[in-house]
Structure 1
Amino acid sequence: MDDNRPGAERPHRTPEARAKAQELRRARRQARAAQEDAAAAVAVDHPPARSIRPPAQPAYLKPRHLGVGWGLVLMVLFPLLITTVYLYGFAQDQYASHTGFTVRSEETSSATELAGGLTALVGGSNSSNADVLYAYIQSQQIVERIQAQLDIRAHYAQHWGSDPVFSIWPDATIEDLVWFWGRIMRVSYDQASGLMDVQVRAGSADYAQQLARAVVRESEEMINQLNAQARSDSMSNANLDLEAALERLRSAREELASFRARTQIVDPQADIQGRMGVINNLQQQLAQALVDHDLLLQTTSESDPRMRQAERRIEVIQDRIASERRNFATQDVTVFDTDYPRLIAQYESLIVNQEFAERTYTAALTALDAARSNVERQSLYLATYVRPTRAQSAEYPQRLLLVGLAAIFLTLTWAAVTLIYYSLRDRG
C-alpha cells in the first residue's frame, strides 16, 4: 500500500521516533559541516592551480624590416663608405694662401673749392671703389688675366683622372674656369670697414701663394686704371670748365668794348663826373655873370651896350646848363647825346658780368692747376695689410668635417624615407 498517494493519511509517529529523526538530521548536518571544514582546510593548504597561457612564438624578420635594413645599408653606410674612401684615398691635398687688402684714398681739395677756400675729398667714395674691386676679383676678366700668367687650367686638371671632384676637366672653357674660380677662391668683404680677405687654394703651397700674389697684383692694376680714369675725367672737366670760362670772359669783354664803341664813352662814371664838373663850372660862371650884371646895372643904364652883353652872357650860360642837365634824362640816344641813366645801368651790368667772368676764369685756372697736380700723384691706392702667405700644411679638403656632414645628411635622408614609408603603410 502506498503511503504517498494523495489523500493517504500519514502514520502517527511516537515521540521516540520523532526524537530519533531529529538526532539523525542533526548528525547529517554535523557531518556535512565537517566535510565543508575539511575541504576548506585542504583548499588553504593546497590552492588550485592557475591557468597558464601558452608561450609566445619566436620573433622573425619580416620583409619590411629587411627593407629598412637594406635602406640603411644602401642609403647611409655604402655612400658613407664611398665618401670616406674617396676623401682619404683619392682626394688630393690642397694648400691655402691668405691675403688681405683695402682701398684707400688721399685727402685733397677740389679745384673749384680751392678758389672758395673750402676742402673736400676727391676721387669718389672708398666704399664704391671697394665694391668695384670686390666684383672685379670674381669676374671673368681677372680669371683670363691670371690664366694667361699662371695657366690655371693646367694646374687644376692634372689630377682629373684620380680626383675629379676637386679638379677641373682639361678642356674646360673660360666660363668653366670662372665657375671653378669661385670654388678655389673665397673673398670676404666687410662693407663697413672696406676690408677684403682673400683665400686661394691650390695643389701646392707655392702655387697657392702665386695665385694670391696675382690677385693682389691684378687688384692694384685695377685701382691704377680707376686712378687713370679719374685723372682723365678730372683733366677733361677742368679743361672744359676753363674753355667755358674763357669764352664767357671773352664775350663779356667784347660786349663792354662794343658798348664803349657805340657810346664813345670809356667810363660813364668818369664821364658823368666830368660833365658834372662842367655844370659846376658853368654854375660858377653864371654866378659871376650875375654879379657882374648887377654891378654894371648900378653904374650904368639899361641902354648901355654892356648891359645887353652881360644879359646875353647870362642867357648863354643858363642855356648851356639846361642843355647839360637834359643830357642826363633825355630818351634820345645818339652818339653825341646819350641817355645817361640807361647807359649807366648797361655799363654797370657789363662791368658785373666781366668781373664775374674774370673770377670764374681765375677759378677755372686754379682748378686746372689742381687737376694737373693730382695727375702727378696717386689719389687711390691698394693698402695690403696681409701679404700673401705660404702654407706649411694642407688644410683642405677638410676630410673629417666632410665625412661627418655626409653621415648626418645621409642618416637624415634615410630616416625621412623610412618614416614616409611607414606613414604610407599605416594609412594604406
Structure 2
Amino acid sequence: MLPAPRPAAPLPRAPQPAATPGSARLRPRHRGAMWAFALLVLLPFAALVWYLWAVAEDQYASVTSFSVRREDQASPMEMLGGFAGLSTGSSSDTDILYEFIRSQDMVARIDAKLDLRAMYGRPGPDPVFTLPADATVEDLRDHWQRMVRISYDQGDGILELTALAFTPQGAQQLATAILEESTAMINDLSAAARADATRHAQDELDRAMARLQSARAALTGFRSTHQIVDPEADLQSQMGVIDTLNTQLAEALIELDMLLQATTAADPRARLRQDKIAVIEARIAAERGKFGAGSGGEAYATVVGEFERLTVEREFAEQSYLSALAAHDLARAEAQRQNRYLAAHVRPTLAQTAEYPQRLRIAALAGLFLLLGWSVLTLIAWSIRDRR
C-alpha cells in the first residue's frame, strides 16, 4: 500500500509595504480640507466675482487737485529791492480744509446743491455701492466718505480729490461743487483773519474819531455861547482900539498944553480940549474894563483860557486821529499781505471710462485673503486633530 501524499506547502506571500503611522487618516483629512476650501474660498470668491461683474454699478471718477496759498505782497522796503512772491499757505489751513471736506457740513452744502440722495440712489440692484432711499444724514456722510476720496501731500500742502458718481457728468459736477465750497470756506477764513488783524486798529480809529468830533463840538458850542469866533483875535482888536485911543489922548494933551501957553484955562477952547481929554480917558477906562469881563459878565481871561483849553484838546484829538488812521492803514496793509486763496492746480476732469469699482483689484485681494484664511483654519484644525 502506497503512502498518502503530503499536502503541498503554501506558496510564500508577496512582501507587503510597511504601514506608515496615520496613513488611515490621510484621506478624511484631505477630504475635509477640500470641502472647507470649496465652502470658504471658492464659493465666496465666485459670489464676489459674480457681484462685481454682474451687479455692481460702474462708477466714474473726476479728479481735481488744489492747495491753499497765501499772497504775500511786498512791503515798501521789499518793493524797492524787488522782492515779492507767493508763498504756500500754512499747513493748518490745509488741515482745516481737509477736515471740512470730510465733514457733515460739506455734505449738507453739496446735498442742497446736487441732491446726493438722488445722485447716489440705486439705478440698479446694487446694495453695496448705492445709497438706500431712506438713508439718514449719518448714512449719507458715511457714503460720502467712501465716494469722495482725498489724498493729502503734507510736504507740498496739495490736496488731490477724487469724486465718484454713476455718470461722468455727475462726478464732474460733484468735484466742481466741492471746489466751489472749499473756495468759499477759504475766503471766509481769509476775511475773518483780516477782520481780526484790523479789529484793534479799527477800534482805536473809532475812539479817535469820536474824541475829535467831541472836541470840535465843544469848541463850536463855546463860540456859539460867547459869540466869539477867536478870543485871541478879538483881544488883538481891542488892544488896537486902546492903542488908537492912547494916541488920540496924547494928541489932545499936546493940543491943550499948546493952547494954555497962549491963553488961560478959562478960554472956551481950553475947556473944549479938557472935555475931549476926559472923554478919551473914559473910553480908555471902559475898553480896559472889557479885559476883566466878557460879553456875559464872565472874566475875559477865563474866556480866553477856556478857548485855549478847547483848542488844545481839538489839536490833540486831531493828532490822535491822524495816528490812529495811519495805524489802521498799516494794519489793513499787513492783513492784505496775508490774504489766503484756493489755487486749483487741476480742474475737475470729465471721465470717459468707468474706473471704479476696481474689480480685478478687489477680486484679487479678496481671493488672497480667503485663501490665507482657509490655510490658517486648516492648519489649526489639523493641529488640534493631531493632538487628540
2:40 counterpart letter in structure 1: M
C-alpha distance in 1, partners of 2:86/2:71? Answer: 8
Matched, 1:196 2:156: no
C-alpha distance in 2, partners of 1:399/1:223? Answer: 37
- What secondary structure sits across from 1:92 in the alignment? coil
The answer for the alignment partner of 1:366 in structure 2 is 326
Q: What is the TM-score of this pair, normalised by structure 1?
A: 0.55
The answer for the alignment partner of 2:273 in structure 1 is none
Matched, 1:80 2:80: no
The answer for the alignment partner of 1:155 in structure 2 is 119
Deviations 1:97-139 (A, max 9, x none): 000111111114789x99xxxx999999522211211111111
Change in CA separation of 1:131 and 1:60 when aligned onto 2, cut-off 3 Å: closer
Change in CA separation of 1:128 and 1:110 when aligned onto 2, cut-off 3 Å: farther
The answer for the alignment partner of 2:70 in structure 1 is 105
Deviations 1:44-77 (A, max 9, x none): xxxxx99741368998974333221110000000
2:122 counterpart letter in structure 1: Q
Matched, 1:392 2:356: no
The answer for the alignment partner of 2:377 in structure 1 is 417
C-alpha distance in 2, partners of 1:56/1:127? Answer: 75
Deviations 1:169-209 (A, max 9, x none): 11111111111111011111122211111111110111000
- What secondary structure sits across from 1:175 in the alignment? helix
Match runs of 1:161-176 below 5 Å:
162-176=125-139
Matched, 1:404 2:364: yes
Residues 98 and 389 in structure 1, CA contact (< 8 A), matched pair in contact too:
yes
2:117 counterpart letter in structure 1: R
1:83 counterpart letter in structure 2: L
1:211 counterpart letter in structure 2: L
Deviations 1:141-164 (A, max 9, x none): 1100100111111121223x6111
- What secondary structure sits across from 2:113 in the alignment? helix
C-alpha distance in 2, partners of 1:363/1:389? Answer: 52
Choose which of 377, 381, 385 in structure 1 pairs with 2:341: 381
The answer for the alignment partner of 1:223 in structure 2 is 186
Residues 96 and 205 in structure 1, CA contact (< 8 A), matched pair in contact too:
yes
Residues 110 and 121 in structure 1, CA contact (< 8 A), matched pair in contact too:
no
The answer for the alignment partner of 2:28 in structure 1 is 63
Change in CA separation of 1:121 and 1:240 when aligned onto 2, cut-off 3 Å: farther
C-alpha distance in 2, partners of 1:81/1:95? Answer: 25
The answer for the alignment partner of 1:89 in structure 2 is 54
The answer for the alignment partner of 2:15 in structure 1 is 53
Residues 71 and 337 in structure 2, CA contact (< 8 A), matched pair in contact too:
no
C-alpha distance in 1, partners of 2:180/2:133? Answer: 26
Q: How many residues align?
A: 269
- What secondary structure sits across from 2:139 in the alignment? helix
Indicate the percent of aligned positions where both proteins have the same amino acid. 47
The answer for the alignment partner of 2:297 in structure 1 is none
Q: What is the TM-score of this pair, normalised by structure 2?
A: 0.61
The answer for the alignment partner of 1:19 in structure 2 is none
Change in CA separation of 1:199 and 1:124 when aligned onto 2, cut-off 3 Å: closer
- What secondary structure sits across from 2:161 in the alignment? strand
Structure 1: which 5+ runs fail to align? 1-48, 250-356
1:193 counterpart letter in structure 2: D
Residues 80 and 407 in structure 1, CA contact (< 8 A), matched pair in contact too:
yes
Match runs of 1:216-255 below 5 Å:
216-242=179-205
Residues 73 and 337 in structure 2, CA contact (< 8 A), matched pair in contact too:
no
C-alpha distance in 1, partners of 2:371/2:128? Answer: 22
Residues 185 and 200 in structure 1, CA contact (< 8 A), matched pair in contact too:
yes
Residues 110 and 367 in structure 1, CA contact (< 8 A), matched pair in contact too:
no
Residues 65 and 344 in structure 2, CA contact (< 8 A), matched pair in contact too:
yes
2:174 counterpart letter in structure 1: L
Change in CA separation of 1:133 and 1:167 when aligned onto 2, cut-off 3 Å: same
C-alpha distance in 2, partners of 1:360/1:74? Answer: 87
C-alpha distance in 2, partners of 1:67/1:85? Answer: 26
Matched, 1:144 2:144: no
C-alpha distance in 2, partners of 1:122/1:230? Answer: 18
Kindly report the root-mean-square deviation, in angstroms, between the aligned alpha carbons of the 2 structures.
3.9
